[in-house]
Structures are given as C-alpha cells and as structure tokens.
Chain A
C-alpha cells in the first residue's frame, strides 16, 4: 500500500523518486560485546530504508555492511608459568592456533549478526579486518564511501555518566561520514 502512495503522492518528486533513491550504505561495527549486537538490532529496526518494503524496484534501498576488526595477535606474549616472568616468543604453531581461534570467533560473531539480518530480511555483507579497530573502521568507512557508520557504545556502565568506549569515541571524532552511536537501553523504561 505504501508503494502506490509513494508513487501518487508528490508531483515532481514522483518522477524523480526512482532515480533519486538514496542508496544508503550503512556500516555496523561488530565485536564480541552485546552492545554492538544491540547497535545492529537498532539499525535493523530503525533504519527503515533497509527494510525490503521500501524498495519497490529491484534496487534495494540500502546496503548493509557488517565489519568486524580482529585485534592483531602480538607475537611477543605471555610470561610463562609460575616460575617467573620469563616471556617467550610464541611458537608458530601457537600463533596459528590463536589465529584460527580468532577466525572462528569472528566467524561465529558474524554468522550470528548475519542471522539477525536474515531474520529481518535484510541483505548484508561482512567484512573482517585486522588491526586496531579505531583506525580500521574509519579507514574502511572512508574507502567504501559509507554513508552512515553505526557503532555500539559500551557505556562503561559502572560510571554513572556513561562514557563512550574508546572506539566509538575515536570514530565519532575522526570518521568522515555521519556516525550513529547506539547506547545500550536503560533499565528503567521510558
């Protein structure tokens, strides 16, 4: 019913509408915190342009990208056992196993995120990057010409006045595109 009303409503707009469709490229940062999944849920709920009913013709309204940044594994790790602080270099096999574990972890996170998108009938693509999350997210948003960056904010809830997590704070300052910081819902209802 909305499609017909959109077509009939505006006079000059109606002709412009199909071409002028704002293809919003949205990027949501995912890590293993609940807040980032809440941010994803928020985007799926509120960024209506993602919803399938908004797209009349074949071209979808928005493109959703899920980005997960893996922390680089430091090779110089681990004070050894109880004997003392003898740090040792991680052997290649250890590095590999940690890397595999990391990859499995990110795959699990992203599949969970993709499942959420699928439940809302939203097409999404995933992107896994390595490095410092702050920089990588800003860089990726810039390179991919993202229109809106959505990040969760840990809130560091113990402190009464919620502070942003460092990643969202950094991105809010340095990302070139509009950025949405989604805060975890308050316990008290509105």
Chain B
C-alpha cells in the first residue's frame, strides 16, 4: 500500500481547550486506529496573533507595551505548541509537524491550507455556550466559508442537564 503522498490534515489550535479537544478528537479518530501507518500527514498549526492587533490603538504608551505583549504572545504560543506536542505523543502519534505562524488566525489558516495543500482542516469551535444555539467562533466560521478544502468543526460536547 505504498501511497506516493499522503493527504495532509491540518489542525488549527489556539489557546483554548476547545481546540485541544479538536486535536484530541482528530488524533483519536484518524490516527490512533493506525498506530503504525497513519493515512494522513498531520500538521498542527498555531496562529499567533500579531501584537499590533492585540494592542490596537493604545495611544502614546503603545511603543512600550508592544514588546511585552509580544513576549506574552510568544509564551502563549510556546505553551500551546507544547500542549499539542504532549497530546500527540501521549497518543503515540509521532509523525507530526508543528508550526507557529503569525497573523490573523483566519487568514493564517486559509493560507496554510493553500501552502500545505491540505485535504482537510480541523478546527475547534468556541461555541459561545452562553447563547443557547451555539454560534461558531468567528475564526471557524470564516474558515468554513473561505478555506478551499474540506473543513471539520469539532465542538466540545456540552454537558446535558
């Protein structure tokens, strides 16, 4: 069964536990079944926000804040990447590529789809549970509309009461 090139699956993660759940879901359903030879190539992508977008129009003090914000964002990105790596290795999935790209997550994810020729994009969705009918987070909504590949939205199951 020597396939020339495995289709690529791209999982977008951010700092939320929803996206880690999405990664876990993907690993469980597509990778742990085939521990020796997974049918997909997995790329885990974290989109790190640009400090300028976070700081916004902060005014005169912005110049000082930017490096601090940037450092904080880098720390967050490192933490996220670490959590993702740990999850992958705990599921014994080793052939994973981790990437951190800067920019607006929406564009970053869609561009990454083009760059990796991903056949599938998996995203978590915040759900904004306060509203009864779960609305997709804006990033997942954007990607579903604009990514050129199949998109899977994984929602964290709510506890029914």
Knowing A48-B30, A162-B146, say if A181 contacts B151 (CB, 8 Å): yes
B34 near A2: Cβ-Cβ < 8 Å: yes
Question: Among B28, B134, B158, which residue has its beta carbon within 8 angstroms of that of A173?
Answer: B134
Knowing A2-B34, A162-B145, A163-B145, say if A46 contacts B119 (CB, 8 Å): yes
Contacts of B73 in A (CB 8 A): none
Does B89 reach chain A (CB closer than 8 Å)? no
B29 near A174: Cβ-Cβ < 8 Å: no
B119 near A172: Cβ-Cβ < 8 Å: no
Contacts of A169 in B (CB 8 A): 144
Interface residues on B, range: 20 to 34
Q: Which residue, A22, A48, A49, has most C-beta atoms of chain B within 10 A?
A: A48
Q: Is the interface of B mostly helix, strand, loop or mixed?
A: loop
A137 to chain B, nearest CB (A): 15
B152 near A178: Cβ-Cβ < 8 Å: yes
Q: Mark the stretch among B35-43, B51-59, B60-68, B97-105 that contacts chain A.
A: B35-43
Q: Which B residues have a C-beta under 8 Å from some C-beta of A?
A: 7, 25, 28-30, 32-37, 39, 92, 117, 119-120, 133-136, 141, 144-146, 148-155, 157-158
Q: Which A residues have a C-beta under 8 Å from some C-beta of B?
A: 2, 5-6, 9-10, 13, 22, 24, 42, 46, 48-49, 54, 61, 147-148, 161-164, 169, 172-183, 186, 190
